[in-house]
Structure 1
Amino acid sequence: MTGSLDQDAAGLAALTEEGERRLAALPARPDRTPDQQQRADRIHADARRARRDFLARHVETVYDLLTDGRTREVRLPELVEAAAERFPGLVPTREQMAAERAVVQAHKEGREIDQGLFCGAVLRSPTAGRHLVETMLRPTPRALDLLDTFRADGRVELDTVTVTRQGTTAHVEFRNTARLNAEDETLIADLDTAVDLVLLDDAVAVGVLRGGPVEHPKYRGRRVFSAGINLTDLRDGKIPFVDFLLGRELGYLNKMLRGLLTDPAPGAGTQRFTGKPWIGAVDTFAIGGGMQILLVLDHVIAAEDSYVSLPAAEEGIVPGLGNLRLTRHTGARLARQVLLGGRRIAAADPEARLVCDEVVPPEEMDETVDRAAKALAAPAVSVNRHMLALAEEPLDLFRDYLAEFAVAQSERAYAPDVLEKVERRWRERERRRAAERSAS
């Protein structure tokens, strides 16, 4: 790297183009010998070193060029695509990502790691990173399109989420029923839209999150809060890094915590954000990403027969911002037991009070939710929760953590132990299904 943007961009493009030529001479990943895979790994490692060097010198200039000096709000997916076009070799092209999407996780080249390097570098910059975080706190175009309908009808049905206004409370119900309300690409997009609608509707004072009844034979007809990330989709290569793994953190989770950025003027202070209190109603269980949601909510109500867990050690990936947020709820020792040892917390355990505000019999959930919603509808609640968020998780702390998470999570998604675990689980599931078909 010379320090000249144009020269360094040209050098990066030449190096990565040569690397792609050498990769193309090798068989597809599942057909490579160990020696051939080692050669592919070295090609990727050389290119990633060059990308890191380039970004270390030029990331703020690159970001300014892609956003016209931070005068345009370019959402993360569009930012990554624009970087691929403007700076060849810096991130994968649309065609390369389409090819990755067509195969299972274990057969990919791991090009999302290159996206992780780029996103991490952008977030690490105080200027570029803050601008990106605030861009992702803006309402989604889809929510703006649906807002008039929601205001008029008080109800919007999305593919996997239903939003219903009852008085001054908006109920957001997960309805990914065939998958135990697990998080997949559709649910993440639907939740981002649903949260926007709740925050944009002036008639709503409080939001409630709850899982709807599911179809799984073991839990059929019961409400389930969330089974966390859909590991089958992870195995099948259908958990995109940008839209899912980073998008949920920069999108609906951050909006619930900080509020929606509705006034872009920097001098507007706290009035820039439209925030509202959120209640979580946990039926049956909140696993993984489901428990992560609880860590940004203002009031959590759990049924006595439910439990929560963050099985990060078992899954092998990083549990979003759970590592950042759980400690301030539980303290360091219990957080390590949950995150590193996979400890499950039952609602009946004394420790459940550290992550849940109320534990009630299942038949009292509806009444308890209604009572909590009335209590949190007081006018001063929103501004005080905004000040709490500033004190507990300043935006720069969030940004710094997310910069490291972007790199670590993209790498873990392709780690051999993760690939082996999701493949083993998939084979076990297929064997069970075959046995069930034979028995029937």
Structure 2
Amino acid sequence: MTAAPLLLDGGIEQDATLLATYVEEGERQLAALPPVPDRTPADRNRAAAVHAAARRARRAFLARHTETAYGLLTGGLTRSVRLPDLVYEAADRFPGLVPTRQQMAAERASVQAHKEGREIDQGLFCGAVLRSPTAGRHLVETMLRPTPRALTLLDGFRAEGRAALDTVLVTRRGSAAHVEFRNAERLNAEDERLIGDLDTAVDLALLDDAVTVGVLRGGPVDHPKYRGRRVFSAGIDLTDLRDGRIPFVEFLLGRELGYLHKILRGLLTGPEPGGAWGERVTSKPWIGAVDTFAIGGGMQLLLVLDHVIAGQDAYVSLPAAEEGIVPGLGNLRLTRHTGARLARQVVLGGRRIAATDPEARLVCDEIVPVHGMDETVERAVRALSAPAVGANRHMLAVAEEPLDLFRTYLAEFAVAQAQRAYAPDVLAKVEHRWQERERRRAAARSRS
């Protein structure tokens, strides 16, 4: 690959051929280098130059052909292709545009610091698709549809009122679907299993006609400090991030397009475009019961709920500055709740909000004694089951977060988050945390 930029000025097929040839040369140069952990500073500079040139070429192709490419991948918008499948179909149809399944499988085998950073190329593609009003809206709507797994489990859930997933338990009690996080050994932290299970659980709650309200709550955990206590969520599992087990498409972008958005806007179940949005979606109110703490992604989840109840000893935080990554749509949604100044203190300065702080009322509706949580949740379920709640929460979502605002924010997020996941400061932080944890474990073993 030369330093000269790739010039694209033809139709999509001609430009795709030029892109494939250009990127293939860069791949040959990368293959000639040692594996990432064994590269010298000079090797790393050469690899960075190859990646930079390939990404300039991809950006140039996407600037000219995103909508046409998306149309070809979706049969002229007649196929609903979910995001993970979309990126790999794009890799097959337009070689060099995004990484192949084989390339991503090789990446998944390495810790984050030892990867080539190919998820950045996925981020460029996803950002370009979302930036397009036509393609982006089609993708957003595709991701609001029920997951195949939920459709498979739906009849059983309707009959039994219970679905036990790997890390989530969904039970129907009266007219409420109680979704309990059960990633007990990890303080209900977000990992790839929990993200997938939550997408399924939210679908089941929204598809079951016997359910009028959803309730989210953390189950008891195994951590020595909190053993037996309920914990809402410890946020993203930073050990998994360090170990390279936080996939960009399925996790970091998928959670925003999936269950978080479904909770806010509803599940797309109605007829094809033509009717009002409210006629096309199944939407229900959601309650959050926060025991102990809601950190990172846990706090982000609270921002799409209709009623949040917190125990008096709980706290919430978005430690984005400490972790170094972007807190999902927290930057978009937190300002609506708290105002700009407090949002900056939380996101940029790492401010923690205790349930006893006056500011807690900006993100929590009720602060109750721990022993009063169950009763308060049931009272909230009865209040949110009123017939007019559904229509009004729909109109609130339309007013507060129009779909195009969501789409354009997510287009920027896709690129920024993919890049931050490979930033040197993030890699250094997660490695330091991992080493500290390993030292503590070694010390505990020696004492025993």
Q: TM-score range by the shorter chain?
A: over 0.9
CA RMSD of aligned residues (A): 0.4
Structure 2 residue identity aligned to 1:201: D
Query: 1:7: how far off?
Result: 1.3
Distance 1:265 1:113 in 2: 33
Residue in 1 that maps onto 2:403? 395
- Tell me how far apart the structure 2 counterparts of residues 38 and 248 of structure 1 sit (CA, whole Å): 34
- Which residue does 1:225 correspond to in 2? 232
SS in 2 for 1:280: strand
C-alpha distance in structure 1 between counterparts of 2:370 and 2:351, whole Å: 23
Amino acid at match of 2:252: L
Aligned twin of 1:408? 416
Counterpart position of 1:237? 244
Note the alpha carbon deviations across 1:27-84, whole angstroms, 9 max, x for none.
0010000011000000000000000000010000000000000000000000001000
**Matching residue of 1:384:** 392
1:101 alignment partner in structure 2: 108
Indicate which of 347, 360, 365 corresponds to 2:355. 347
Q: Does 1:295 align with 2:303?
A: yes
| Residue deviations 1:282-335 (CA, integer Å, cap 9, x gap) | 000000000000000000000000000000000000000000000000000000
| Cross-structure match for 2:314 | 306
1:132 to 134, 139, 144: 139
Where does the alignment leave 5 or more consecutive residues of structure 2 unmatched?
1-7
1:258 equivalent to 2:265? Answer: yes
Distance 1:36 1:170 in 2: 54
What does residue 30 of structure 1 align with?
A: 37
Give the C-alpha shift of residue 264 in structure 1.
3.7
Deviation at 1:268, TM superposition (A): 2.1
**Structure 1 counterpart of 2:432:** 424
1:16-165 to 2 correspondences below 5 Å: 16-165=23-172
Q: Deviations over 1:82-111 (max 9, x none)?
A: 000000000000000000000000000000
Alpha-carbon separation, structure 1, partners of 2:255 and 2:168? 15
Say which SS state the counterpart of residue 268 (structure 1) adopts.
coil
The separation in 2 between residues aligned to 1:203 and 1:36, in whole angstroms, is 60
TM-score, structure 1 length as denominator? 1.00
The 3-state SS of whatever aligns with 1:271 is: helix
Q: Give the letter aligned to residue 226 of structure 1.
A: S
Local SS of the residue matching 1:215: coil
Measured in 1, the distance between the counterparts of 2:268 and 2:176 equals: 21
Q: Structure 1 residue 3: deviation in Å? A: 3.4
Tell me the equivalent position of 1:207.
Answer: 214
8 Å Cα contact 1:105/1:414 also seen in 2: yes
Contact 1:261 1:273 in 2 (8 A): yes
Partner of 1:266, secondary structure, is coil
Assess if the C-alpha contact under 8 Å between 1:307 and 1:346 holds in 2. Answer: yes
The separation in 2 between residues aligned to 1:402 and 1:318, in whole angstroms, is: 11
Give the Cα–Cα distance (whole angstroms) in 1 for the partners of residues 422 and 163 of structure 2: 37
Alpha-carbon distance in structure 1 between the residues aligned to 2:336 and 2:271: 30
The 3-state SS of whatever aligns with 1:207 is strand
Q: Counterpart of 2:97 in structure 1: which amino acid?
A: L
Q: Which amino acid aligns with 1:358?
A: E
| Structure 1 gap ranges (5+) | none
Task: For 2:319, give the aligned amino acid.
Answer: P
Aligned-partner Cα distance in 2 for 1:151–1:221: 30
CA distance in structure 2 between the partners assigned to 1:382 and 1:196 by the alignment: 17
Q: Is the 8 A contact 1:3 1:57 kept in 2?
A: no
- The DSSP-based 3-state class of the residue aligned with 1:267 is coil
Following superposition, the deviation at residue 379 of structure 1 comes to 1.0
Contact 1:137 1:254 in 2 (8 A): yes
Structure 1 moving runs of 4+ over 2 Å: none
Are 1:186 and 2:193 counterparts?
A: yes
3-state SS of the aligned residue for 1:3? coil
Aligned-residue offset at 1:263: 1.2
Letter in 1 for 2:114: H
In 2, the alpha carbon distance for the partners of 1:43 and 1:4 equals 25
Q: What is residue 322 of structure 1 aligned with on the other side?
A: 330
1:164-202 Cα shifts (integer Å, max 9, x gaps): 000001100000000000000000000000000000000
For 1:363, the equivalent position in structure 2 comes to 371
Give the count of matched residue pairs.
Answer: 440
Code of the aligned partner of 1:27 = P
Mapped partners of 1:72, 1:385: distance in 2: 30
Q: Percent identity?
A: 80
Distance in 2 separating the partners of 1:267 and 1:303: 44
What TM-score do you get using the length of structure 2 for normalisation? Answer: 0.98
d(CA) in 2 for partners of 1:251, 1:417: 28
Alignment deviations for residues 111-161 of structure 1 (CA, whole Å, 9 cap, x no partner): 000000000000000000000000000000000000000000000000000
Could you say what secondary structure the match of 1:171 adopts? strand
Per-residue Cα deviation, 1:217-276 (whole angstroms, up to 9, x for no partner): 000000000000000000000000000000000000000000000014212211101000
Q: Counterparts of 2:91 and 2:113 in 1: how far apart (Å)?
A: 24
Amino acid at match of 1:100: E
